[in-house]
Structure 1
Amino acid sequence: MWVLLSGHFSVLLLSLGVASVALVLWLDWRMDEIDHEQFHIPVTSDLFLFIFKLGRLVVSSNIDVCLRIYGIRKATPTFKEIPLPFDNSLSKVIYANAITLTPGTVSMVLDKDKLLVHSISREGAEELAQGAMADIIPRIRQQDVKTVPVRKKRRTL
């Protein structure tokens, strides 16, 4: 699709495109070899509320990052270890991914009881440490999450 829309048909770009498609297919195949389970999260009003609140945080963080890029606010990059207030691994992963989706913050290392986060500002890191993002994560109880083994499929490349 990109090739058709861009109008660039050089041998280098086409060969890099083919190589990247092959790499993605290989990675997908390898991931299927390693992990044969899926998590089914119950769809409740909490999920829709989470998506709405995360969207609001993404927009406000995007504005904050723009103000820091244009020099209106000062960028003070920092690393911060944030305690994880969740007891199951799925909530921890959702939390880390929500932080990474928010502009100006990146989840770096996820441990059992803490998360290392890089933030574009000290204020943003402090907000995370005070639980600003943790408050919007839906409370998923371990018994609500169903782990479904995926039947192994024969895949060929």
Structure 2
Amino acid sequence: MTGTFISLFSQTLKKVAFGHNKEDPEMTMLKIALLIDEITGEPLYYKVLDGSIADVTLLQNLFAELSKLDAEQIYLVLDRGFCSENNFQMMFRDNIGFVAGLKSNLKFAQQSLQEFVPQLMLALSQQHSPEIDCYCATKKIEWYSSSRAFGKEYSPFYIHVCYDLQR
């Protein structure tokens, strides 16, 4: 699934009346959630959403609808706007695979940055990834999700830290 926004000048469409683009607060917008087949690239699901819905809460509303799809496995690719411990809990609990940008204010993200950035700044060749042309490190932590039905369950959670010398 991917989420995106479209900036609009419309003053009559209800979905864009309250959304505001972070880059241009005067521009209204709407959001589109899109689920595509990984192999064929064909759209499986889409939904036009109010521009005012926060990305973090958008997933909560979509999970109920996604559970109705006849899909073997769903993998989500999410930007930092979807980053919240609650969303991670829901995805683990619902067995939804994901790749997400982390917000650096999360405790486990801060710990990973403090651990890896000094090493990555050394620009050692064994940490260089030619595919993405930056220096990388990975950390595996145990993430727990809890539910009434199953109690606490632990799953592997991989944190990838990438460092670009130019940035």
Give the TM-score of the pair, scaled to structure 1: 0.21
1 or 2, which has the higher strand percentage? 2
Give the TM-score of the pair, scaled to structure 2: 0.20
Bigger relative contact order, structure 1 or 2 (CA pairs below 8 A, ≥6 apart): 1
